[in-house]
Amino acid sequence: MNINFEEQYSLDLRSLQSSEDNCLNNHKRIKNKSSKKKKKKNKSKTNCFKKKYMNKKKKKKIKSVKESNVVKKTKIQSNIIRDLKVSYYESQAEEEIQRLIALKNEGIVLKHRKKGDFFKCLVCDKSVGSFSPAENHSHSNDHLSTKAGHKLSGIDFNFAVDIESYSDIEVIISRLRELKKISRKVKFDYYKHGIRLKNGFGKKAYFCSKCDLWFESLTEVKKHFEMFDESRDQLN
């Protein structure tokens, strides 16, 4: 009876051990499966994350490329606009320079002052405020007749002789300036002696028809006339 019990006990113990082993094996298997599943899941998660990251990166890259293209286009447009503005202002400046030169040839010059710029006609001794009135004045009959010497009268008309060209504005302005310097009485005295106004400056500013001499300035004319007066007084 004892032997049977022991045998039975050993058998039960073996069966228990085998069942435990089976349980452990099953547990290991399940654990392995779950770990594999977890790994797969983690892998799939990482893959998804990578895809999302790559997609985001691609989108950012596309966006940056688009933005850079927009920036390039705007830069090109701004450069074109700037070039157009520069060429416009250059053309405007060139046009204004040409207008100023044309006015200067007519004796009309641009003057600067604190209140604002203005144009002065040195031929007619008149002032105007802007380009258009200045240009209108340069074509007016009043300006053209003064420039041609048609307005000279009395002793001025006799004292100032004709010049080679009335288009030389420097000569015209100089003659008018010299006429203003000399009083009416002195003009009569010079005229009686034979002194005449020619160009008003340079080597042919004045000349004496009696003595056949040319003078470069009014100072030389005065000296010549004073010498003539002295010699006349000595003769008397």
pLDDT tens digit sequence for 117-148: 899 999 999 999 899 999 999 999 999 999 88
pTM for this predicted structure = 0.57
233: pLDDT strictly greater than 60:
no
Q: Note whether residue 10 is domain-resident.
A: no
Q: Which of 120, 148, 176 is a domain's end point?
A: 148
CA dist list (Å): 111 to 64, 102, 132, 133, 141: 56, 15, 15, 15, 23
Asked, for residue 195, whether it belongs to a domain, the answer is yes
Q: Are residues 229 and 157 in the same domain?
A: yes
Give me the residue label for tokens 């040319």.
214
Q: Quickly count: other Cβ atoms within 10 Å of residue 124's Cβ.
A: 19
Q: Tally the residues of the chain.
A: 236
Q: How many domains does the chain have?
A: 3
Q: Are residues 181 and 135 in the same domain?
A: no
Please tell me whether residues 115 and 54 are part of one structural domain. no
Listed residues 117, 148, 179: the one ending a domain: 148
* Same domain (yes/no): 96, 125: no
Final residue of a structural domain among 97, 114, 148: 148
Question: Is the same domain home to 134 and 156?
Answer: no
Q: What is the 3-state secondary structure (H, E, C) of the chain?
A: CHHHHHHHHHHHHHHHHHHHHHHHHHHHHHHHHHHHHHHHHHHHHHHHHHHHHHHHHHHHHHHHHHHHHHHHHHHHHHHHHHHHHHHHHHHHHHHHHHHHHHHHHCCEEEECCCCCCEEEECCCCEEECCHHHHHHHHCCHHHHHHHCCCCCCHHHHHHECCCCCCCCHHHHHHHHHHHHHCCHHHHHHHHHHCEEECCCCHHHCEEECCCCEEECCHHHHHHHHHHHHHHHHHHC
Same domain, 90 and 163: no
Domain range enclosing 72 = 47-105
| Same domain, residue pair 140 and 188 | no
Mean pLDDT (whole number) for 19-41:
61
Whether pLDDT at 167 is above 70: yes
Q: Are residues 179 and 227 in the same domain?
A: yes
171-214: pLDDT as tens digits: 999 999 999 999 999 999 999 999 999 998 889 999 999 889 99
- The answer to whether residues 173 and 212 belong to one domain is yes
Residue 4 lies in a domain: no
231 and 156 within one domain: yes
